[in-house]
Amino acid sequence: MSITHENKVAIVTGASRGIGLGIARRLVADGARVVITARKTEALDEAVEALGGPAHALAFAGHADDPAHQDEVVFAARETFGRLDYLVNNAGINPSYGPMLEMDVEVARKILEVNVLSAFSWTQKVVGAGLGTPEAPGGAIVNLASIAGLGATGLLGWYAVSKAALIHLTTELGYQLGPDVRVNAVAVGLVDTDFHASSGEADRPGRIRPTVPMQRSGTPEEVAAAVVWLLSDAASYTTGTVLAVSGGR
């Protein structure tokens, strides 16, 4: 089955650059229109231009965990494009790198707020708004997790905990929202983005890449390929699961 997203509409959070922009770019190339979010207006404006302009993409600056921002984006998607089919929860933070017990509890709380609870809140709002159309209800959601959520990391403690929680949230929602709404996750490995460069992972390439069977970092385009497959009808019998895109690490 070929993958198409013709006339579909997607919200992609954290999409001004990196993996989020790669996902938005692939969706537009496959025929979809996208509503993208991030914190900085200038970066979003550049992303919209890269995506082909307002006929293909809308942008809203705000914090991913701000309920008013979420409401604005969901309303705009339906008001402007007339429907809403997909949600990609890509926004995430990792402001601390090091032993968990050295991290302030407020930092840990913020990581969970952005990486887990905001994904849950976005999901509540898009499902409440009705994914799809009256003639074809339903839709698909993909959460961007990490292989850090699949095992101990040593230095990415609360980030890893948040991604483990996001993976289980995916499993629970896949169970509860079926059969109309499919919910899946992609567990990303080392990918060449500014986020990974700032997370501490980029400081250890000599130790990391030998543990990756593919012997290299991934690209945003390779992650996007997995995400758009999970969103598409080609994955119509896949829900509540996590797909690792990590080069085998």
In this structure, is residue 192 part of a structural domain?
yes
Burial of 14 (0-12, 13-18, 19+ CB in 10 A): buried
**Is 3 domain-assigned?**
no
> Model confidence over 142-174: pLDDT tens digits?
999 999 999 888 888 899 999 999 999 999 999
- How confident is the model over 66-124, as pLDDT tens digits? 999 999 999 999 999 999 999 999 999 998 888 999 999 999 999 999 999 999 999 99
The CATH number assigned to the domain holding 39 equals 3.40.50.720
Residue 4, in any domain of the structure: no
User: What pLDDT does residue 203 have?
Assistant: 47
Residue 155 lies in a domain: yes
For residue 205, is pLDDT > 60?
no
One-letter amino acid at 112 equals L
Number of Cβ atoms within 10 Å of the Cβ of 33 = 25
Residue of 94, 137, 142, 139 lying closest to 119 (CA atoms): 142
Show which residues are catalytic.
159
Residue 2 domain-assigned?
no
| Residue scoring higher pLDDT (123 or 137) | 123
Tell me whether residue 128 is in a domain.
yes
Q: Extract the runs of DSSP E, i.e. beta strands, from 112-159.
A: 139-146
- In this structure, is residue 142 part of a structural domain? yes
Q: Which domain holds residue 159?
A: 9-245
Using alpha carbons, list the distances in angstroms from residue 184 to 14, 152, 167: 18, 22, 8
If one compares 248 and 158, the residue with the highest pLDDT of the two is 158
Q: What is the rounded CA–CA span in Å between residue 93 and residue 115? A: 7
State the pTM of this model: 0.92
- Provide the domain count of the chain: 1
Residue 92 lies in a domain: yes
